[in-house]
Amino acid sequence: MRLFTLCVILLIAGEMSGLQPAWIFPLLFIIIFPGFILSLFSWWKASEEDEDLPFMGY
């Protein structure tokens, strides 16, 4: 998650600053973006270890 986030931030920063060649962003972003999305969702999804909230009744 941290690695993908770092890569995405670096790519966006590089594109916005104009320091990196124009072809780098599309090429790397297409590879990194799916990993970023899936790792982001994996990071915040509900844990598999914790129990569900018990049913409290009425």
Partner 1 sequence: MIELIAAGTIIGLLFHGIHRKVIARVQGRPGPPVWQEILHTLKFSFKETWIPKTASNPLFVFIVAVELAIWTGAIVIVGYGGSLLMLFAVFMLHKIVEHGLGLSSGSPYGKFGAIRSVMSAASEIPLFATIGGIYLITRTLNINEIVAWQQVHGWLIIPALPLAFAMYLVILSKMHYGPFSITKAKEIVSGVLTEHFGIYRAGLDVAFAMKTFVLIWAFVLIFFGALPWWLMLIAMLIVLLSLSFVCAFTPMLSPYDTVAFQAVVSGILIIYIFIIGVSL
User: Contact positions toward partner 1, by CB under 8 A?
Assistant: 11-12, 15, 25-26, 29-31, 33-35, 37-38, 40-42, 44-48
- Closest to partner 1 by CB, 17 or 58: 17
Shortest Cβ 41–partner 1 spacing (Å) = 4
Burial of residue 11 (number of CB atoms within 10 Å: 0-12, 13-18, 19+): buried
Q: Could you report how far apart the first and last alpha carbons of the chain are, in Å?
A: 40
Closest to partner 1 by CB, 47 or 56:
47
